[in-house]
Structure 1
């Protein structure tokens, strides 16, 4: 059975495995100290979930904010990449130490996992991460996951822990993700507007829902905003995982959200098989194939992408790389693993099968992107 209400987040029969994301603004004061009393309250809730029979994975921000304070770096350690990496290296030690200490007070063992975008984009490394998470949970540990900001660069990083939480949920086989925010959830307009109303349930993220999201983080310490949370909801939803945005600024934040039904719940709208879910959650396509209207319609019926339907090729990619599939108006239709390099795709784009051998110098493959290696978005 799927999770259809916030109250079910506490039900181990429906939510046996929960991913809980904690942002920097909630965990760290502006001066760089851990909000210890607040964190103790949250850890007590994690311990209560364990007593109920639930397994919990924590995705915790805060390393850069903590490290920047200790190193005396300007702009919270985010003035430049070197500062952020140095702050993360110092702050991660403090972050893991406080989680380990507070969880140990409840008889729980903390386990640290640091990942980069590549760790979850590469299929083999993704499976390794999945196996590690599974073993830790089996042994009763509480994995505390963060992006490895000390080595990540702009090209190989998530950039926010909202999307990381959704990808970790996939790898962990979780039933739900809770993103603790500094607002009650998604509002139908700017929350500062007195007429704004909380959107309590979302069945699917479409253009109307995206229009409700404003970019940026209000605290100045984090890197995510409502846009990244919607992207996380899309990743989770395709994998059959419910996602909730709730206000984490309160003591007993989870209990408050569940008891008062206060937050936004994004329903899981499908459950792709393991490899398809991994494909759908990947975030770094190497290029874009634009297809004509006939090809776009055929995708809905389960067709592969043939060269004849490709009208434009962007990017520099090799065979086996991830590419995004766009319609003529730039709308995201799908993504998948391409069977040709970018140069080969440009050579055969728009051409019938009978023309391709002469252009390629070898017999063409059955598709540019085969349906077995593609997921609709």
Structure 2
């Protein structure tokens, strides 16, 4: 069972969004990954274990292949990019974690693996085995083989399922967005909403860009609507969830220490005053 919000967590799941780990030219930002790993290493020294859920494999694959990809089917093209890019992402993480003397491991999964039964038990055994050895699991959807019926909506959903699976004390969703605002962030006078509960309706605050059918292989899923839906569902299960900007200095450490960063979502309803 998740611990109380004011206690030090022992397990956290940290999701890294595509818009966070790639730049405007769709290239992986190695310096950003280094800052994330440095914070995970600091938590590791405190006895706090992390699981990373990292996006970016499709863009990492495209960065390698460039114009060499001659596959015309957009869905197959995405599979190709993911298959090429996933080991490249892991090479980034492996080399950085090695600097801190920490081992990491890749865990690729499909939605079926979280279904109750032997698949779920196998996943639990995998994560518990890695965590018991002080190894940082790095999770991602197995995009190369996932079928539509066994695919996650996005990695926000995967992160939530992993958080529930390992009974995490916090889920931290990091992207290029600071959190939830009461109106479009670029508008004058917009204010960040620091805390909501899982029973609050906030969709009217959120604007989403249209889905690009012509560039389906490079769409960046997981906008604020998805994040908020996942955060509320996870909070209902007793796992406080924070949506924050992953490029902020020491953002993970600040969140774990309980500082006011981003938007916190907790289990509702809010307590009434006596």
Distance in 2 separating the partners of 1:111 and 1:174: 18
Q: Residue 269 of structure 1: CA displacement?
A: 4.4
Change (3 A) 1:78 1:227: farther
**Structure 1: which 5+ residue stretches go unaligned?**
271-377
Match of 1:210 in 2: 203
Instruction: Report the structure number with the largest CA radius of gyration.
Output: 1
Q: Distance in 2 between matches of 1:181 and 1:79?
A: 29
- CA separation in 1, counterparts of 2:253 and 2:18? 21
* Helix, strand or coil at the partner of 1:72: helix
Higher relative contact order (CA 8 A, sep 6+): 2
Preserved CA contact (<8 Å) 2:241 2:266: yes
1:200-230 alpha-carbon deviations (Å, 9 max, x no partner): 1112243x22222233499x75211011112
Q: Secondary structure at the match of 2:158?
A: helix
Query: 1:216·1:223 contact (CA, 8 Å) conserved in 2?
Result: no
The normalised TM-score by structure 2 is 0.86
Q: 1:54 aligns with which of 44, 48, 57?
A: 48
Backbone CA RMSD of aligned residues = 2.6
Does 2:169 correspond to 1:175? yes
Shift in CA distance, 58/213, structure 1 to aligned 2, threshold 3 Å: same
Check whether the contact 1:176–1:243 (CA below 8 A) recurs between aligned residues.
yes
Q: Counterparts of 1:182 and 1:217 in 2: how far apart (Å)?
A: 18
Gaps of at least 5 residues in structure 2 are 212-217, 270-274
Offset at residue 263 of structure 1 (A): 0.7
CA distance in 2, matches of 1:222, 1:236: 22
8 Å Cα contact 1:33-1:66 kept in structure 2: yes
Q: Which residue of 2 aligns with 1:232?
A: 230
Alpha carbons of 1:78 and 1:195: their partners in 2 closer, same or farther (altered >3 Å)?
farther
**Is 2:1 the partner of 1:14?**
no
Partner of 1:69: 63
1:347 maps to which residue? none
Q: Equivalences for 1:290-329 in 2 at 5 Å?
A: none
Aligned to 1:149: 143
After superposition, what is the alpha-carbon deviation per residue over 1:261-285, rounded to whole angstroms, capped at 9, x for unaligned?
1211111349xxxxxxxxxxxxxxx
- SS of the aligned residue for 1:244 comes to strand
Q: Structure 1-normalised TM-score?
A: 0.63
